[in-house]
Amino acid sequence: MTAWRTMGRSAFATAIVAALAWTHGAHAQDSTKTAPAPDAPAPAAPSPAATSATPVAEKVVLPPPSPLHERASHPLAAVPTDSKPTKTTRMCGVCHSDIRVKFDKGIHKSEEIGCISCHGGNPDAITIAEAHRGSGYRGRPRRADIPALCGSCHSDVARMRPYQLPSDQFALYRTSAHGLALARGTMNAAVCTDCHGVHEIRPADDPLSMVARHNVPTTCGRCHGGNGDPARPATPGSPLADYKAGIHGHALLVGNNNAAPECANCHGSHATAQPGARDVDKVCGQCHGKVRSFFMSSPHRGAVRRGGHSDCAVCHGNHKTTRIAATAFEKTCDSCHKPGTPEGAVAGRIQTMLADASAQIDRARERVSRAEKIPLYVEDYQARLEDARTALMEAAPATHTVDTTAVEPHTRRARSIAAEVSREVDEKLKGRWWRYVGLGLFWFYLILTAAILLRWRRRAIARSTSVR
């Protein structure tokens, strides 16, 4: 009952505004029934004391359910938590029109979260002074308060349930590098609005959202852009540029491959942190599981445990992840194992195996495409070349064992299939010699015929002159 009356009243207040600022006509008729005083102030937020006094009633009454007693201990206790629909920016948008435009593009607008949900104030007032007063007006929230402010709704399990949204972001954030820095008093540590936008907050699956997968690198890069940014001297290196130059960044941003990881896939989203040196293989192993299992069986694993090297990144880089070409194998290993050493020799052997197989495949492919242009029947060869390529691709994860016996079966298979294809296509190409024989035979006949004709011609001339 209380809820119904509250709603009616708020609707009536809205109706007054509608007359002035062409909003909400529909509720006006209902509201006349309750007919409160026309100058009734906008329903004030129930004071913390009042709400905590009636927690049971609040639980029963839906739709504005929230564990308000918990909120009372928040720094946000003053934020209005009434149930009235804050569908629009209402009067706030008259002065703050630039913000209204941004806000209208966001998700909160359609979920009836309005200006006062974060800023307080009186959205129906028609003077500036009145608008910026009362009902817990707080103006621009302090940076340090923002995570809790957002968390006041987003940590509410019941409230997030209909959206199937998680409600642990605030808790996660507090454990994150960002959250810890903020707690330490580093005021420029990222808060919710730095990544999700301030007023124009779009859902993550909106392609225009700052946290859409392909926008994440740019969003993170605003702070972690790299060297030379005086505002962020603590960020080492140039992670954004490196990421874009790496294979992951290229796949995501240029190749539109949505399976490629962005920053958060390795560093976490709300619980952002740098993976520890010993955890790099786990992070990479999320996607490269087979590679990781090969790596774990290799002697490198033990070395990592002992020496604390960051495993995958030593060879593949961290932000600028690179695939190591078959021909660059030895060079990469060189950085730790010098060429003369037995370990360096293993690297050389693996490189030779990979490079041989890859060269053999290239040679076979060149022959097949030459045959195809003639055209000869090459479908079978193409299928077998695909097998060879698959075998070579299987060799790549196996190299992480740094065990030549693990790599060799794959490269040998790739090499032998490709060599077989090369040989067979070569035979087919050479088998066309008879065309030239045929052509020679044709010319032989042609020249003989021409000789006979020339003889006849000579005789005809001789006869005609003798007649004359």
Partner 1 sequence: MADETADQERRGFLKWLTAGFLALWAPAAGIMTASFLKPPEHGPRVGERMIRAGTLSSLAIGESRFVRHGLEPIFVVRLADQQVMAVSAVCTHMQCILHWNRDNSTFLCPCHDGVFDKTGNVLSGPPKKPLRQYSAEIRSDEIVVFT
Partner 2 sequence: MSDAPRDTQTPPPDSRSWLERRVNLTEIASLLTVFGLLPAELDTRKPLREALGEALSQPMSYYERWPRLLGLLAFVLFLLLGATGILLAFYYQPTADAAYPSVVAIARDVSFGSLVHQVHAWASILFLFLLAFRVIRFFSIGLYGRGREIIWMVGVLAFVVATFTDLTGRLLPWDARGYWTTIRAREVIDALPLIGPIVTFLVGGKGLDSLILTRFYVLHIGGFPFVLLILFYLHFASIRRVGVPLPLDAAQKPRVGRALRIAGIDMILLVLLMLGVLLTFAIIVPIPFDVQADPFATPPNAHAPWYLLAPHAVLEAVPGLLPRFVRGLLLDGLLAGFLFLPFLDRSPGTGARNRAFLAAGLALLVIWVLLTWQGWFLEVSR
- Contacting residues toward partner 2, per CB under 8 A: 372-377, 435-436, 438-439, 442-443, 446, 449-450, 453-454, 456-457, 460-461, 464
Look-up of token digits 């790549």:
396
Contacts of 382 (CB under 8 A, 6+ apart): 368
Pair 205, 212: CB distance under 8 Å: yes
Is the Cβ of residue 276 or residue 440 nearer to partner 2 in the bound state?
A: 440
376 binds, among partner 2, partner 1, none (CB under 5 to 8 A by kind): partner 2
Decide whether 214 or 459 has the Cβ nearer to partner 2: 459
Say how far apart CA 407 and CA 403 lie, in whole Å.
7
Q: Which does 375 bind (CB under 5 to 8 A by kind): partner 1, partner 2, none?
A: partner 2
Question: DSSP strand E in 168-208: where?
Answer: none
> Who contacts 328 (Cβ-Cβ below 8 Å, separation ≥6)?
none
Nearer to partner 2, 393 or 454 (CB): 454
- Alpha-carbon distances of 408 from 185, 328, 341, 373, 413, rounded to whole Å: 56, 18, 21, 34, 8
Q: Which of 452, 454, 460, 461 binds partner 1 (CB under 8 A)?
A: 452
Q: Which does 439 bind (CB under 5 to 8 A by kind): partner 1, partner 2, none?
A: partner 2
Can residue 462 be called a binding residue for partner 1 (CB under 8 A)?
Answer: no
Of 241, 383, 248, 257, nearest to 323 by C-alpha is: 248
Least distance to partner 1, CB of residue 444, Å: 11
CB of 225 to partner 1, least distance (A): 55
Cα(107)–Cα(113) distance, rounded to whole angstroms?
9
- Are the CB atoms for 298 and 403 separated by under 8 Å? yes
Interatomic CA distance for residues 153 and 417, integer angstroms? 62
Could you tell which of partner 2, partner 1, none binds residue 177, using a CB distance below 5 to 8 A set by kind? none
What residues from 389 to 448 belong to the interface with partner 1 (CB under 8 A)? Answer: 445, 448
User: What residue 448 binds from partner 1, partner 2, none (CB within 5 to 8 A, per partner kind)?
Assistant: partner 1
User: Which DSSP letter does residue 444 get?
Assistant: H
Q: How far apart are CA 325 and CA 358, in angstroms?
A: 10
Residue 373 touches which member of partner 2, partner 1, none, C-beta under 5-8 Å by kind = partner 2
The dihedral through the CA atoms of 188, 192, 197, 198 has a sign that is negative
* Nearest Cα to Cα of residue 347 among 406, 418, 402: 402
Asked whether the beta carbons of 221 and 227 are under 8 A apart, the reply is no
At residue 391's C-alpha, the angle toward residues 387 and 392, to 5°, is 120
Distance of closest approach, residue 454 Cβ to partner 1, in angstroms: 12
- Of 40 and 453, which CB lies nearer to partner 2 in the complex structure? 453
Near partner 1 by CB under 8 A: residue from 34, 257, 274, 449: 449
Q: Which of 10, 174, 165, 184 is nearest to 83 (CA)?
A: 10
Q: How many residues line the site for partner 1 (CB under 8 A)?
A: 4
Nearer to partner 1, 128 or 451 (CB): 451
DSSP letter, residue 198: S
Minimum CB separation of residue 452 from partner 1 in Å reads 5
Q: At what angle do helices 379-398 and 342-373 cross, to 10 degrees?
A: 160
Cβ at position 256, least distance to partner 2 in Å: 17
Shortest distance in whole angstroms from residue 458 CB to partner 2: 9
33 binds, among partner 2, partner 1, none (CB under 5 to 8 A by kind): none
We find the least distance from the C-beta atom of residue 371 to partner 1, in angstroms, to be: 17
Q: Residue 461 CB, nearest distance to partner 2 (Å)?
A: 6
Interface ranges with partner 1 (CB under 8 A)? 445, 448-449, 452
